Structure 1
Amino acid sequence: MILVGLNLRPALSSLAPLLPRIEGEGVLSVLVLSSLTTLPVLCLGLFAPFAPWLAQRLGMERSLALALIVLSAGLALRGFSHAPLLFTGTIMAGAAIGILGTLLPALVKRELADKADLMTGVYTMALCLGGALGAGLSIPLANLLGSWSFSLMAWASLSLTALLAWWLIMPQPLPEIQPKASNKRIRSLLKQPLAWQVMLLMGSQSSLAYIVFGWLPTLLVRQGYSESEAGWLMGLSILTQLSSAIAAPWIARMSKDQRPALMLVLVLIGLGLWMLLLGSPALRWPGSIVLGLGQGGSFSLALTLIVLRSGNSKIAGELSALAQGGGYALAAMGPLVVGFMLDANLSIQAIAQLLFAILAFAAAMALLAGRKRCLESNAQGEFITVNQRT
């Protein structure tokens, strides 16, 4: 699980530090680059709902292995500067990450139900480490290998390593035969406000994360920082996420009500964004750390809520598909809008206002999704929302 988590972010974070260099070479326009930051996030949302279907036919372990194969191939193709191959590789990588990220919460709920929240924090910490490596090493790799294309392609080696280890170590159970999710059951899930609240929280906080992954270095370069420093600022922010990713679920498990923990991490995100984008240049390094603490905790808690708001592993898989499918589709709009704003030469202040508006919406959803509620199934197989026992 940790090895898989390590590969869920380099495909997203490794491109952003290279965007100013790619734009400067005139290889791709700003609008095309904007679509490259949006496309993988959109694929996360489009392909996440297919994860339960795939797991029913191949089993969860084999589905994860197949997704790692697709991820490796996508990362290799993404290294070609030829636009069709670049876009094809980006779509493949986004689709694979959508499958991997959706299956992991269900696997955690199945294998480690009693410690599901803490295990979610552990693999989220690995996920953050992968994101930090992608952000921090992209420019050094490009300088070492002599090309931004080779820098992007190099990340396929990490996913191939994870695939080899996963295939050698993973168990080989037969697929669990489960009844196919009926349209009635899907409609029943969509009627539950709690499911929507978890999904919208996942989408809004993920939108901020992918705006940072996609555009923070570009925003910092436009403020006068070098591309190398901008990449390291983002890398430090993502690296800092490791500590809060593991700590936030531990703090949240002290109560069935996760609202205080959610509010804390969202306030940290807002403070970090203000320090980086609107504050004094002297605040850039502390701001990077504060932003990382907030975003690591918010993402870890959002994933943890999928587990905590689910009565069993089957429900966790279904809620994960909805929350991550719909949430990432919503999150994809954030990097796209910021790309349009940059192309229109709007000010950093205008972009910051958009980020704070998204943050306020995330806080509203957190106050609802963080309450002591849980999704269960009744005798008719329909979803119901019940109060959790303290």
Structure 2
Amino acid sequence: MLVAFNLRPALTTVGPLLTTIRAETGLSATGAAILTTLPVLFLGLASAAGPATIRRFGADRGILLAILIVALGLASRAVGGLGPLFFGACLSAAGIGLAGVLLPGLVKRDFPGRVGVMTGLYTSVLCLGAAAGAGLTVPLRDALEAGWALPLAAWAVPAFAAALAWLPFAVRERPEMFAAAARSKGRARFWGDPLAWQVTGFMGLQSSLAYIMFGWIPALLQSRGLSAIEAGFMASLMSIGQAPSALLIPTFAARAGDQRAYAVGLILLTLTAFLGVVYAPVSLVAPMTVALGFGLGGTFGLGLTIIVLRARDAASAAGLSAMAQGVGYSIAALGPLGFGLAHEVGKDWTLSVLLFCAIASAGMLCGLGAGRNRLVGVPA
């Protein structure tokens, strides 16, 4: 749970301060779009390193390595300036990607009879970490009476605390029941399996929707007249709204033989709530933001649950997780970049909204395939 808490603040703390960062550094809208895109790309690149990490260190030590990378990336922001900001964002995102790809295999290994509950628990705590980062960064800046660099770097403290908490697991050897995934040629089965690609597509496209919101909802809300603190609070509400669905959806979805209805329903909710945030009266922004978070949290928890459910064993879960998150986050990286560029080209949010709708529609199509009661690598 402590590790999970630290897998989002690096991504959600920049958005509330993005307007301030641009004003003080002269960062362009294109630069801001790149700043929100590069971390997601590094998530994908690091996720692909999951099997090699298991082979070299084992999953438990791999988690320790990942959370230390997150902490170091966050701490590097204290230097200030755009260089350390971009470097820290990419480094911490790499740690997040590595930890994220290892966790589903750990759940399959250590809690094979409670996949839904455990996936729900750690994803809900992950969402609470995202909420804390979005909602507390601006008040932290004001309390420290500092610029933007120090409050961004302060989130390294809970990350180092999580590393200390995980240290006993890394020191003590535990059986690596899914290390075979890193040594075998089983990944080839995944790359040639249409179901694996549907799982990957769903994971990537729903993640794209989330990372668009992590990076751009504060700026979108400020364009509607909210202050930086109000926009950060709304972003925090969105993340808080993710927690209950991230907890409940995996639990219920794991009990169902088929997850297609969950996939379609949650993405429709996400899309409807997003349109409400953009176009509904400002008085309705708060409930729409919570509903948006509920949809995003549910689809994220469902994506991780589907990875585990479509795998036959811990070894398959590790391999499928590496593919789904490695390729999926690379797909997701295009969302924030495209959303920002569309806003700059159109001078308003219309083109960005159309892009969001297109990504949501593609996510539903992939969900209809990924949600079927089948196993990757097993003929229908």
SS in 1 for 2:113: helix
Alignment-mate amino acid for residue 356 of structure 1: C
Distance 1:168 1:34 in 2: 39
Distance 2:71 2:24 in 1: 27
Retained in 1: the 8 A contact 2:123–2:247?
A: yes
Distance 1:26 1:53 in 2: 38
* Equivalent position of 2:36 in the other structure: 37
Distance 2:277 2:93 in 1: 28
1:202-247: CA deviations, max 9, x gaps? Answer: 0110000000000110111112211111111110011111111111
* Equivalent position of 2:164 in the other structure: 164
* Equivalent position of 2:96 in the other structure: 97
Distance 1:109 1:179 in 2: 13
Distance 2:97 2:260 in 1: 27
Distance 1:15 1:191 in 2: 38
1:262-306: CA deviations, max 9, x gaps? Answer: 222112101110110111212101101110110110000000000
* Equivalent position of 1:178 in the other structure: 180
Runs of 5+ in structure 2 lacking a partner? none
* Equivalent position of 2:374 in the other structure: 373
Which TM-score applies when normalising by structure 2? 0.95
SS in 2 for 1:113: coil
* Equivalent position of 2:149 in the other structure: 149
Distance 2:83 2:23 in 1: 20
Alignment-mate amino acid for residue 150 of structure 2: F
Alignment-mate amino acid for residue 384 of structure 1: V
Retained in 1: the 8 A contact 2:181–2:319?
A: no
Superposition pairs of residues 219-230 of structure 1, within 5 angstroms = 219-230=220-231
* Equivalent position of 2:57 in the other structure: 58
* Equivalent position of 1:140 in the other structure: 139
Distance 2:14 2:129 in 1: 13
* Equivalent position of 1:232 in the other structure: 233
Q: CA RMSD in A?
A: 1.6
Superposition pairs of residues 255-274 of structure 1, within 5 angstroms = 255-274=256-275
- How far is 1:80 from its partner? 2.8
Retained in 2: the 8 A contact 1:192–1:385?
A: no
SS in 2 for 1:147: coil
1:120-163: CA deviations, max 9, x gaps? Answer: 01100011000000000111111112211011000000101101
Alignment-mate amino acid for residue 57 of structure 2: L
* Equivalent position of 1:380 in the other structure: none
Retained in 2: the 8 A contact 1:77–1:85?
A: yes
Correspondence 1:357 to 2:358:
yes
Distance 2:102 2:372 in 1: 24
SS in 2 for 1:374: coil
1:323-354: CA deviations, max 9, x gaps? Answer: 00000000000001112123335322221111
* Equivalent position of 2:208 in the other structure: 207
Distance 1:148 1:21 in 2: 8
Alignment-mate amino acid for residue 351 of structure 2: A
Matched pairs, number: 377
* Equivalent position of 1:307 in the other structure: 308
- 2:378 counterpart (373, 378, 384): 384
Runs of 5+ in structure 1 lacking a partner? 376-382
Alignment-mate amino acid for residue 156 of structure 1: A
- How far is 1:32 from its partner? 1.9
* Equivalent position of 2:11 in the other structure: 12
Correspondence 1:84 to 2:83:
yes
Retained in 1: the 8 A contact 2:51–2:182?
A: no
1:344-365: CA deviations, max 9, x gaps? Answer: 3532222111111111111111
* Equivalent position of 2:324 in the other structure: 323
Distance 2:140 2:283 in 1: 28
SS in 2 for 1:334: helix
Cα distance 1:269–1:231, how it changes in 2: closer, same or farther (>3 A)?
A: same
Query: Percent identity between the aligned chains?
Result: 41
Retained in 2: the 8 A contact 1:192–1:384?
A: no
Retained in 2: the 8 A contact 1:57–1:175?
A: no
SS in 2 for 1:344: helix
1:43-74: CA deviations, max 9, x gaps? Answer: 01011011121112211111111111111111
* Equivalent position of 1:378 in the other structure: none
Distance 1:179 1:114 in 2: 21
* Equivalent position of 2:333 in the other structure: 332
Distance 2:335 2:37 in 1: 8
SS in 1 for 2:375: strand
- How far is 1:26 from its partner? 3.6
Alignment-mate amino acid for residue 154 of structure 1: A
Retained in 1: the 8 A contact 2:182–2:319?
A: no
Distance 2:190 2:227 in 1: 48
- How far is 1:85 from its partner? 2.2
Alignment-mate amino acid for residue 68 of structure 2: I
- How far is 1:83 from its partner? 2.6
Distance 2:44 2:170 in 1: 26
Retained in 1: the 8 A contact 2:180–2:315?
A: no
Retained in 2: the 8 A contact 1:203–1:329?
A: yes
- How far is 1:385 from its partner? 3.8
Correspondence 1:192 to 2:193:
yes
1:295-321: CA deviations, max 9, x gaps? Answer: 110000000000000000000000000
Cα distance 1:126–1:33, how it changes in 2: closer, same or farther (>3 A)?
A: same
Distance 1:161 1:360 in 2: 40
Which TM-score applies when normalising by structure 1? 0.93
Cα distance 1:115–1:174, how it changes in 2: closer, same or farther (>3 A)?
A: closer
Distance 1:201 1:277 in 2: 24
